[in-house]
Structure 1
Amino acid sequence: MTDNTRKFSTDALFSLGFRPFYLAGAFYAAASLLIWVAYLFDFVELQGPFEGSLWHAHELIFGFAVAILVGFLFTAVRNWSGLPTPNGKALAALLLLWAIARIMLIFDAGPWVPIIDLLFLPLAALGIAVPLIRSGNKRNYFTFLLMLLLALANGAFYAIAYDWISVDPNTVFLIALDVFAIFITVIGGRIIPLFCNNATGSKRAQRHQNLEYAIVTGMVLLLLSDLAWGLTDDWAMPRAGFLLALGLLHCTKVALWRPQITLANPMLWILPLAYSWLPIALLLRAASLAGAPIDQILALHALTVGSMGGMMLAMMTRSALGHTGRQIIASKVETFIFIFVTLGAMVRVFGPIVMPQLYLLEIAISAIFWSLAFGLFFVSYWKILTRPRA
């Protein structure tokens, strides 16, 4: 290791999208959940334009999650296309734009809030659309199209928040979560069996293209049905049947990966485990619509905390190690990161089902586990992501 690799470097930090956005996203994931819990227990007040639960939902999706997504896609698209994605000053400017919006939403900053926040996703989408289109990489055009859909959802949320349109904001959040679920479905379906087979030296993890097509089609139909009916009970039984079938297809997909072959390697077992929270979310929504005493909000947290949180940390650790020239091997740090986010999901989803009388306490415990996971990533990967490649 040279002296240069031991020093903080802005050139290194802004050399590729995963470096600044993984760090910023991880810090905000931990901090925003602690702020949310402090708000729930009346320790702090939010001065921004949104009521507390709306701020929490908005910032989970359009604050933390999009930051990690952008960091991942800026890095992946460069590999897919062979062309550069935003780096240097352009990348720093995008990060600053994202960060300013986050601060403005905590403190009341007037009409500038939507202007600043709504600029970020279209600019980020442009940053991946240009290299994909120039390289003719049509297989991955869906990435910037889904990002533009997220941008539209964010715009719709502001229109609702400022009373420009009358729509349930939960419908907007649900659509945005469906977009992330599609990302997990497609990207996870490509890489998880590949990583499992490469790392174990086997071909036991299988991927069936027709099953992939069926599941992706189902996820798009789910997005359309959520656009029509949101979290209402309209057409409850047909929708429950559809969610049940879609959830079971996802379960079949996971089973074909032979997840038992990953158990000796934390960098592997977190992948099918995190993905599995997606069918859990679908099955819980199906049960709720069918009349079970389960709030659909618990299903959404299976998706956000379990699947999104778990998959993001799995890919953040893996790509951060790989793209900085390190071996993709789990230390105790990575193992604890994965355990903490999994415990956070279990407490948040199943705690209220088993012990509903402890709901607020369960939210707090889940948030602590979540913040430990992302906080540990931030602290442990700071040097890795702010210094030149090893």
Structure 2
Amino acid sequence: MSDLTRSAPALPALPLWRILGDEGFRLFFPLCVLHGALWPFLWVAIDGLAMPLSGRVAPGIWHAHEMIVGCYGAALIGFLTTAVPEWTDTEPLRGRPLYALAAFWGVGRCVGLLGWDAAIGLAALADLAWMAALLAYIAGLSLRRRTDRLLAFMLWIALLIAAEMAARWGMLRGNADLAATGAYAAGFVFLGFLGIALARVTVPVTNLVLDPSEETSPFRPHPGRLNLSAGLVFVALAGEAFGLSDAVRGYLWIAAGAGFLDRVAENFVGRRFFRLEILGLALSAGFAGVGLMLIGASLLDAPIGPTAGLHMALMGGLGIGVLQVLSVAGLIHAGHSLPFPRGLRFAFLLIILAVLLRAGPDLGLFDHPFGAPYLASSLLWSAGLLVWLRLYRGYIGDAEHLRARGC
């Protein structure tokens, strides 16, 4: 057999720990999805939202905190440790630093799964450790590269640390109001992250959809509206912190919701608006906007409970937004490009149905399906995330892309 027809020797397989530790998205995107898919289902499957070791802290507070700080926190770590090095033209974190962040994050999640009141202090230290490390990492890059492009992210991480401290202190002291306030404040902080993330992601994604050759940039949004939604969330959070009247806070949250709906209008670029790459961005902003407006309306004495708006904004807006960011970054940073893989629409559909089934009973539109609160919603939510993982596991574990970079 000639050398031309002889097959090339097979390259040795890279170990899984090496692949996952190569960049933040490879490790933390699967952690985000697995936590978001399994934790809520296990809570519901055990006994409603009951948790085996929960005592002075209500299960509902554990649930809210874990979904916000746990699920969305993993997405935040993965996104920032992957995107920030690209924005600053620096080498990303790899190996031990990433696994150290994952270890701190994982301690909090193990405690949260069980609702382990006795270990709240340990979980608080672990969560504050990864948040502080993330802030120090971004601040260090900002100083080294002498750039102010990362200041907004640093501000919102600092606010997340403050919200986490309030939530954990409330848990430690058995103060349900403070714990709930801190947990939901963390959710609103993530909406701030969502606002600036959508501003960063929308322009390149829309231009890539409109011109796959990347020779032109037909989509150029008004720069004055770039951070409008995040800025209005910050103002509304300040209103909460200063204890303004219900009426004033209500109007501030309605304004923040309008800021996100403005992003929906900005996303409309003709018939290609209905491409999932753009539609997902609009759906995320739309659910966030409607949810914040419902929260504002409830403060203005509308016959709407606050939980409906919270789930529309934090489960819907943030959930769809996180899935969109994972979908875009999971392709681009793995060395691939748009369009999204076939079947991803199904994952988004399942998440949307889960949100509607969760918020519908709170709005008085219908009763919980099967007569079991949260069961149908948690099943659809888990299924949607697992569909995403099934579609993206090949991109996440693409060892050939690592070899092409000389890894």
Residue 404 of structure 2 aligns with which residue? none
Summarize the Cα distance change of 1:61–1:4 in structure 2 as closer, same or farther, 3 Å threshold: farther
Paired AA for residue 344 in structure 1? A
1:1-20 to 2 correspondences below 5 Å? 8-20=15-27
Paired AA for residue 292 in structure 1? A
1:327 aligns to 2:337 (yes or no)? yes
Secondary structure of the residue aligned to 1:241 is helix
Residue 161 of structure 1 aligns with which residue? 171
| Displacement after TM superposition at 1:69 (Å) | 0.5
1:195 aligns to 2:195 (yes or no)? no
1:211 aligns to 2:225 (yes or no)? yes
1:99-118 to 2 correspondences below 5 Å? 99-107=106-114, 108=116, 110=119, 111-118=121-128
Q: Which runs of 4+ in 1 moved over 6 A?
A: none
Among 85, 89, 102, the residue aligned to 2:96 = 89
Secondary structure of the residue aligned to 1:35 is helix
Q: Give the TM-score, by structure 1 length.
A: 0.89
1:47 aligns to 2:53 (yes or no)? yes
1:289-304 to 2 correspondences below 5 Å? 289-304=299-314
Distance in 2 between the 1:215 and 1:34 partners?
32
CA contact (8 A) 2:51 2:113 kept: no
Among 130, 137, 150, the residue aligned to 1:140 = 150
Query: Which stretch has the larger CA shift, 72-81 or 31-40?
Result: 31-40
> Which structure has the bigger radius of gyration?
2
Unpaired segments of 5 or more residues in structure 2? Answer: 1-7, 402-407
Residue 4 of structure 2 aligns with which residue? none
Distance in 1 between the 2:388 and 2:290 partners?
25
Query: Which stretch has the larger CA shift, 114-123 or 349-358?
Result: 349-358
Distance in 2 between the 1:12 and 1:2 partners?
21
Residue 405 of structure 2 aligns with which residue? none
Greater relative contact order (Cα < 8 A, sep 6+):
1
Distance in 2 between the 1:136 and 1:95 partners?
28
1:220 aligns to 2:230 (yes or no)? no
Summarize the Cα distance change of 1:214–1:311 in structure 2 as closer, same or farther, 3 Å threshold: closer
Secondary structure of the residue aligned to 1:343 is helix
Summarize the Cα distance change of 1:37–1:262 in structure 2 as closer, same or farther, 3 Å threshold: farther
Among 368, 371, 374, the residue aligned to 2:382 = 371
| Displacement after TM superposition at 1:289 (Å) | 1.8
Paired AA for residue 149 in structure 1? L
Secondary structure of the residue aligned to 2:343 is helix
CA contact (8 A) 2:41 2:382 kept: yes
Among 172, 182, 185, the residue aligned to 2:182 = 172
Distance in 2 between the 1:252 and 1:97 partners?
37
| Displacement after TM superposition at 1:145 (Å) | 2.8
1:310 aligns to 2:320 (yes or no)? yes
How many residue pairs were aligned? 385
Summarize the Cα distance change of 1:241–1:20 in structure 2 as closer, same or farther, 3 Å threshold: same
What is the Cα-based RMSD across aligned positions, in Å?
2.7
Distance in 2 between the 1:258 and 1:316 partners?
22
Distance in 1 between the 2:126 and 2:54 partners?
14
Identity %: 22
CA contact (8 A) 2:202 2:281 kept: yes
| Displacement after TM superposition at 1:78 (Å) | 0.6
| Displacement after TM superposition at 1:35 (Å) | 2.0
Deviation per residue, 1:232-290 (Å, 9 max, x gap): xx723333333333333432332132155334422221111112111111211122122
Distance in 1 between the 2:46 and 2:156 partners?
32
Among 141, 163, 183, the residue aligned to 2:193 = 183
Unpaired segments of 5 or more residues in structure 1? Answer: none
Distance in 1 between the 2:9 and 2:80 partners?
30
Secondary structure of the residue aligned to 1:328 is coil
Summarize the Cα distance change of 1:262–1:298 in structure 2 as closer, same or farther, 3 Å threshold: farther
